[in-house]
Structure 1
Amino acid sequence: MRTIKGPGIFLAQFAGDKPPFDTLDNICRWAAGLGYKGVQIPTWVGSLIDLEKAATSKTYADEIKGTVNSHGLEIAELSTHLQGQLVAVHPAYDAQMDGFAPASVHNNPKARQEWAVQQLKWGAAASKNLGLKAHATFSGALAWPYLYPFPQRPAGLVEEAFDELARRWTPILDEFDRNGVDVCYEIHPSEDLHDGITYEMFLERVHNHPRANLLYDPSHFVLQQLNYLDYIDFYHERIRMFHVKDAEFNPTGKQGVYSGFQSWVNRAGRFRSLGDGQVDFAGIFSKLSQYGFDGWAVLEWECAIKSAEQGAEEGAPFIQSHIIRVTEKAFDDFAAAGTDKAANRKMLGLS
């Protein structure tokens, strides 16, 4: 067993144009002051990192790393969630997804996808330059609009969507492999990879690619009513990253999983700050420790009620209190009899 690293914090929900959230130096100073030990950097936030430069210049990557280290922090991982989403976009979402990309590729799905693929490849090289072994992203989605099986889906529709998703991702996975970095898909509604079965469908099509791994976030499973502890038992060998995010699901006689198109605060299923929801983090940290997960426990703050600042302040001690310093000996070692093979055979009546 190995001890989980942390607490870390994902900077995406905090980055902005006002101090202390406006520069990498300022936001790292702020995070360190709250007790965090690592930062996960969203690569689409230009005020925090220039992804292309980090991929093509080891000197610049060292400068980024130096800025983070100067505050007693480490870079946990880089994230290309928004760019990964654009690797595969169903036409129904074109207008919405253009906002994730630069204006130069708006209204041009082919150019937008090519831009996203290049971003992912830079993400691989940048991660290598920074000495990182795992990278966070989304899979994108072609089949998501057909999630509900009515009207009846034509035969082969979902299979073709996953075949195409695998075709698009295989060269990207190969690029990450060349750089020695794992791709960690956040299993997430609105992505074609949104639960264990869909991940397996994808994994089969990329021939169990060694770099096609997982970012574990239990909050999305609470909202889907999926057993998030069993999930660890099934997929622990592929879990390389961990978002510590809380959620709650409170169905009523009026709404359930689909939440009736309500706002976040009025949904039956909604994200909460750590400790305010229903996630069994003691169980999660125990299972991950049991299976030897030694990556970062990273706060992803999303809450419909509590402020981001309060969520961040409470998040570091919450995570720290759940990290298990794993034992190096068995609790009953004191009672060991020190027997040998001959003695064991005698005890069994085999002498």
Structure 2
Amino acid sequence: MKTIKGPGIFLAQFAGDTPPYNSLESMAQWASDLGYVAIQVPTWDRRLFDLELAGSSRSYCDDIIAVLSRHGIQISELSTHLQGQLIATHPAYDELYDGFAPQQVRGNERARREWAERQLRLAAVASRHLGLTTHATFSGALAWHLFYPWPQRPTGLVEEAFSELGRRWLPILNAFDESGVDVCFEIHPGEDLHDGASFERFLEATGSHQRANILFDPSHLHLQQMDYLEFIDIYHSRIRAFHVKDAEYRPNGRSGVYGGYQSWIDRPGRFRSLGDGTIDFKGIFSKLAQYDYDGWAVVEWECSLKHPESGAAEGADFVRRQIIKVTARAFDDFAGTQPDSARNRRLLGLETRDVETVQG
């Protein structure tokens, strides 16, 4: 069995214009001081990381590795959540998604998508330069607005959406394959890959591509009222990245899973800082250890109540206490004996039966 690596922390929710949140080195020192040993790096934030340079210069990546190592920090994954979102967008969201892209491609869906695809290809090469084997992203969505089947969907509409999603991602997956890096899609409402069934559709559309894998975040499954432990049982072979994020679901008579358009603080389902929600992390870490997950456990802080600094400070110790250092031997080895095939056959009564068969 293998031991999960961690704790790591996703920097996206903490990056800012003031120290220590405005440079990769100062954030590495900040994370290290809190007890983290890895960071997940958002590639769209030039204050922290230059993706164009990382995709073209191995020496830039070597310098980053050296700088981080001085603070006892590694990179768990690069993230292209915002760029990945732009690989597939529905026109209803065009103006909102323009904010994820540079000024020169806004208002032009094709140009915006071509920019995003190039970003993903750069991320594949940059990951290789950094010695990484996993990458975190979103799938984008062509069909999310159809998640509830009313009005009735025309036959074949969802199938066509996933066929197109597969066509768009297949060359990107191939590029990551050339770099030896797994693409880990965060299973997330708002994305076409938002649960196990939709992920299976995507696998079918990409020919079960070996690089199409999962970033497991139990909070998004919990708020859909899914069995996130059984999800691990079903999809463990595809889980290659892990966001440790807590959530709670408190049903009431006014709204439910869809939230009634309310702000996060008023929804029945909302994200919480680690330990403040209701997710069974002991069960999750046990399942992942059982299935030999040896990737990173990365804290993603999102909470409408607690201050982010408090959430970050508490997160490192929380994850460290959850990680199971797996055993190298069985607990009942003391009562074991050496292998003996003849004895095993005697214990099963097979030697006597073999003699009887020959004599008969």
**TM (normalized to structure 1)?**
0.99
2:217 partner letter: D
Aligned partner of 1:332 in structure 2 is 332
Matched, 1:345 2:345: yes
Aligned partner of 1:311 in structure 2 is 311
Structure 1 stretches of 5 or more lacking a match? none
Matched, 1:148 2:142: no
**Is the deviation greater in 336-345 or in 286-295?**
336-345
Distance in 2 between the 1:166 and 1:127 partners?
22
**8 Å Cα contact 1:9/1:39 also seen in 2:** yes
Distance in 1 between the 2:211 and 2:21 partners?
32
Aligned partner of 2:238 in structure 1 is 238
2:228 partner letter: Y
**8 Å Cα contact 1:3/1:323 also seen in 2:** yes
1:72 partner letter: G
Aligned partner of 1:178 in structure 2 is 178
Aligned partner of 1:198 in structure 2 is 198
Distance in 2 between the 1:46 and 1:273 partners?
27
Distance in 1 between the 2:68 and 2:86 partners?
29
Alignment of 1:1-351 (within 5 A): 1-351=1-351
Distance in 1 between the 2:68 and 2:44 partners?
18
1:326 partner letter: V
**Structure 2 counterpart SS, 1:56:** coil
**Structure 1 counterpart SS, 2:41:** strand
**Structure 2 counterpart SS, 1:161:** helix
Deviation at 1:339, TM superposition (A): 4.8
1:38 partner letter: A
Distance in 1 between the 2:267 and 2:40 partners?
28
Deviation at 1:337, TM superposition (A): 3.0
Distance in 1 between the 2:101 and 2:347 partners?
70
1:209-264 superposed Cα distances (whole Å, 9 cap, x missing partner): 00001100000001100100000000100100000000001110111001110000
1:150 partner letter: W
Segments of 4+ in structure 1 off by > 3 A? none
1:22-81 superposed Cα distances (whole Å, 9 cap, x missing partner): 111111100000000000000001011100100100011111111211101111110000
**Structure 2 counterpart SS, 1:271:** strand
Structure 2 stretches of 5 or more lacking a match? 352-360
Deviation at 1:350, TM superposition (A): 1.6
1:290-329 superposed Cα distances (whole Å, 9 cap, x missing partner): 1000000000000010010000000000000000000000
1:216 partner letter: F
1:277 partner letter: G
Instruction: Report how many residues are paired.
Output: 351
**8 Å Cα contact 1:84/1:139 also seen in 2:** yes
1:19 partner letter: P
Distance in 1 between the 2:128 and 2:79 partners?
13
Distance in 2 between the 1:143 and 1:213 partners?
20
1:155 partner letter: T
Distance in 2 between the 1:39 and 1:292 partners?
22
Aligned partner of 2:357 in structure 1 is none
1:256 partner letter: G
Distance in 2 between the 1:29 and 1:6 partners?
16
Deviation at 1:338, TM superposition (A): 2.8
**Structure 2 counterpart SS, 1:213:** strand
**TM (normalized to structure 2)?**
0.97
**8 Å Cα contact 1:49/1:64 also seen in 2:** no
2:105 partner letter: V
**Structure 1 counterpart SS, 2:200:** helix
Distance in 2 between the 1:337 and 1:182 partners?
42
